Amino acid sequence: MSDAAPELKLFVSPNSCARVPTIALEEIGLPFETELVSVMANQQNSPEYLKINPKGKVPVLLIEGAPLTENVAILSWLNATFPKAHLLPKPNSTIEAYYQTADLSFFSATVHPLVTRVAMPLKFIDDAELSFEIVRPKATKDMRVVMAMVNARLENGPWWYGDQWSVVDGYLFWVWSRITGIGFEQDDFPNIRAHCDLMNARPAVQRVLAREAMNVELLKSQGLYKAPH
C-alpha cells in the first residue's frame, strides 16, 4: 500500500452493526464510499454479495478492493492504519492492547448475539408468536444483566475508557440505539442514557445518522425497507 490514503468502501445496512465502522470512518474524517445492502430484503444473501462476503453479513470493508469482514478486525485495522484518529487509547503495554481486543470482542461475541435475539427473535424459532413470547423476553432479561454491568463500568466515564472516547463507545451506541428503538426499558441505566446523549452530540455520529436516514428513505422508495419492531 502506498502512503496515499487507501481506497475504502463499506457495505452498510440501516440499523445494523455496520453503524459501528461507519462511526469509526466518520471520526477518521477521510473520504470513503458506502454501498447499501438491504438486510431487511435479504440482499446480503444475493449471489453478488456472497461473492464479496460468503458469510452473508454486513459490514464488509473493501480495502483497495479486498474485503475485510468482522467488526473486531475492521475496527482494529482502522485503528492501526489511522492512529491519529485515536479510535482506541494508545496501549501502555502489550497486555493493554489485548484488553482492548477483549473489549471489542465482548461487544461482538457476547452483546451482539443478544441484540440479535432481542431484535430478531424470528431467527431462532419458526413461530412468530413464540419468538416474541419466549425468545425476546428471555434475551431481554439476559441483556439487562449485561447492560447493568456496562452501566456500572460507565460510573468512571463518561466513556468506556473514562475520559477518552473510543470505537468501543461506538459499539455500545449501536447496541443501545438498536434495543431501545424496539422498546428496551431504559430507566435502570442512567449512565448508558447519558452516554447515548453524548454520542448523539458528536458531529461524526450526526453525519452517520444522517447517512442512515437517507438510506432508509432510498430503501423505502424501492420497497426494500422494514422498520425495526
Q: Which is nearer to ligand GSH, 105 or 164 (CB)?
A: 105
- Taking CB under 6 A as the rule, does residue 35 contact ligand GSH? no
Binding of ligand GSH by 39 (CB under 6 A): yes
Contact at 8 Å (CB) between 8 and 62?
yes
Angstrom distance (rounded) from CA 54 to CA 57: 8
Binding of residue 68 to ligand GSH (CB under 6 A): no
Nearer to ligand GSH, 59 or 121 (CB): 59
Asked if 16 touches ligand GSH (CB under 6 A), the answer is: yes
Select the residue interacting with ligand GSH from 38, 43, 44, 215 (CB under 6 A).
44
Among residues 22, 38, 43, 71, which is the contact residue for ligand GSH, using CB under 6 A?
71
Rule CB under 6 A: say whether 179 interacts with ligand GSH.
no
Is residue 76 near ligand GSH by the rule CB under 6 A? no
Is 17 among the residues that bind ligand GSH (CB under 6 A)? yes
Binding mask 95-134 for ligand GSH (x = CB under 6 A): -------------x--------------------------
By CB under 6 A, tell whether 215 contacts ligand GSH.
no
**Cell numbers at residue 118, please?**
432481542
Provide the minimum distance between the beta carbon of 107 and ligand GSH in the complex, in angstroms, as a whole number. Answer: 9
In one-letter notation, the amino acid at residue 1 is: M
Residue 133 CA: distances (Å) to CA of 125, 186, 227: 11, 20, 20
221, three cell numbers: 422508495
The closest of 52, 174, 55 to 119, measured between CA atoms, is 174
Binding residue for ligand GSH (CB under 6 A) from 6, 40, 56, 209?
56
Shortest Å, Cβ 34 to ligand GSH: 15
Regarding beta strands 33-36 and 60-63, do their DSSP bridges make them parallel or antiparallel, or are they unpaired? unpaired
What is the C-alpha separation between 93 and 168, in angstroms, rounded?
Answer: 19
Give, in degrees to the nearest 5, the angle at Cα 77 between 73 and 81. Answer: 180
Distance between CA atoms of residues 18 and 227, nearest Å = 17
From the centroid of its chain, how far is CA 79?
15
User: Among 28-36, 56-64, 76-84, 204-212, which window interacts with ligand GSH (CB under 6 A)?
Assistant: 56-64
Q: Is residue 38 at the binding interface for ligand GSH, with CB under 6 A as the rule?
A: no
C-alpha cell at 107: 461487544
Can you tell me the distance from the alpha carbon of 164 to that of 186, in angstroms, rounded to the nearest whole number?
Answer: 24
Residues at the contact surface with ligand GSH, assessed by CB under 6 A: 16-17, 39, 44, 56-59, 70-71, 108
